[in-house]
Chain A
Amino acid sequence: MINKVQEYRKINKVTQNDLAISVDVTRQTIISLENGKYKPSLVLAHKIAQYFETSIEDLFIFDLEEENI
Chain B
Amino acid sequence: MLVGGPFFGAAAVALAFLALPVVAIFTRVPPGRLARLLSNPVVTDALVVSFKTTAIAQALILLFGTPLAYLLASRRFPGRTLLVTVVELPLVLPPAVAGLGLLAAFGRFGLLGSTDRALGIDVAFTQTAVVLAVAFVASPLYIRTAIAAFEGVDADLVAASRTLGAGSTRTFFRVVLPLARNGLAAGEALAFARGLGEFGATIMFAGSLQGVTQTLPLAIYAAFSLDFDVALAMGALLVVVSAVLLVTLRLILSWQPSRRTSRSLVAPSS
A and B associate in one complex: no
